[in-house]
């Protein structure tokens, strides 16, 4: 394949909680799995599904974040994170919130990009930020040489917050929070979604047909599952089951970053934006979607594969 048609690292991301340079010394193995998502778009859900498929059991022997670390985040020294990854003997599945143009690409690595209706992602992100302990930023400062600037306080009015958030989509500013930029993040993968080692997954599809999407993931990862195991695997990946094990499955539970671990799994439903966003916000949202994304991607991102018919 012409190398010019493959993804390449062309940007460096330095955000208030993560740095893409932490990938510099990562040594890929054949069949590594990279779970690539904007914030609050089904990251932990996809990690759990991969854990079920890889380990072929429903109970994990350590917190999910230990099996599947978020490599970019600054809560731990990168040498310690890489040391743990290098010591793993199972098939590795690693989390990232860095767009495709900021992480290494390997043809023998499997990439799962997860998208979600941006309006739903925003509502979930709002709850997520409100649940984060500010002390976590001091921990992050210990693992970087630059001075971190925590995000500015969010507006009290969620509509104002949404307007700022959506209009910043696809920004190229150095301090832009790309990890929460649903449009840019998914767009970086969509350009290459024809490649056989990139799978586009959608939050709404997981909700609509969890078993079907889990089987689709298993096929993509070339993992066989005994038919009799599917019912318990699907049950273990349900929202209620995962919420009941929040202290074991929520991200970074070993780093004490949450005010309330149980609140990480808040509701797991779509459409909550309808109670908050008004006509002005929705008009702005549709304008940004039309300006920043091609029609097929905008349709897929808002509705998912099953509802849009876009595979």
pLDDT tens-place string over residues 78-107: 999 999 999 999 999 999 999 999 999 999
Tokens of 11: 């940007």
Question: What is the total residue count of the chain?
Answer: 311
- Dihedral Cα 20, 121, 308, 282, nearest 10 deg: -120
Tokens of 245: 């094990």
Alpha helices in 135-202 (DSSP H): 135-141, 158-167, 182-190
Alpha helices in 42-174 (DSSP H): 43-55, 64-67, 78-87, 118-130, 135-141, 158-167
**Superfamily designation of domain 3-308:** P-loop containing nucleotide triphosphate hydrolases (3.40.50.300)
Tokens of 81: 């994170």
Pairing of strands 93-96, 198-202: unpaired
User: What pLDDT digit, counting tens, does each position of 214-269 carry?
Assistant: 999 999 999 999 999 999 999 999 988 988 887 877 776 666 666 656 555 565 66
φ/ψ of 154, rounded to 5, equals: -75, 145
pTM over 0.75: yes
Beta-carbon contacts of 238 under 8 Å, excluding residues fewer than 6 positions away, are 210
- Residues with a known catalytic role: 97
Domain-wise residue ranges, the chain: 3-308
């Amino acid at each position: 394949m012409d190398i010019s048609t493959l993804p390449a690292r062309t940007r460096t991301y330095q955000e208030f909680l993560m740095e893409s340079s932490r990938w510099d010394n990562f040594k890929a193995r054949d069949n590594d799995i990279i779970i690539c998502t904007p914030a609050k778009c089904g990251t932990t859900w996809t990690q759990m599904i991969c854990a079920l498929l890889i380990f072929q059991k429903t109970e994990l022997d350590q917190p999910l974040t230990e099996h599947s670390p978020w490599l970019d985040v600054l809560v731990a020294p990168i040498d310690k994170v890489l040391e743990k990854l290098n010591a793993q003997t199972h098939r590795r599945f690693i989390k990232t919130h860095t767009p495709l143009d900021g992480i290494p690409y390997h043809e023998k690595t499997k990439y799962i990009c997860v998208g979600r209706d941006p309006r739903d992602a925003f509502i979930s992100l709002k709850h997520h930020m409100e649940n984060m302990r500010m002390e976590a930023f001091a921990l992050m400062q210990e693992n970087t040489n630059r001075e971190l600037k925590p995000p500015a306080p969010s507006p009290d009015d969620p509509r104002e917050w949404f307007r700022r958030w959506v209009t910043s989509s696809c920004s190229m500013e150095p301090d832009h929070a790309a990890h929460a930029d649903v449009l840019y993040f998914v767009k970086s993968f969509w350009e290459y979604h024809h490649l056989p080692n990139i799978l586009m997954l959608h939050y709404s599809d997981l909700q609509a047909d969890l078993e079907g999407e889990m089987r689709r993931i298993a096929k993509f990862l070339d993992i066989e599952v005994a038919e009799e195991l599917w019912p318990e695997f699907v049950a273990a990946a349900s929202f209620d089951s995962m919420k009941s094990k929040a202290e074991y499955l929520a991200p970074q539970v070993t780093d004490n970053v949450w005010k309330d671990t149980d609140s990480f799994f808040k509701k797991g439903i779509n459409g909550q934006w309808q109670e908050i966003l008004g006509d002005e916000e929705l008009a702005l949202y549709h304008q940004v979607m039309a300006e920043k994304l091609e029609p097929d991607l905008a349709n897929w991102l808002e509705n998912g594969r099953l509802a849009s018919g876009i595979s």
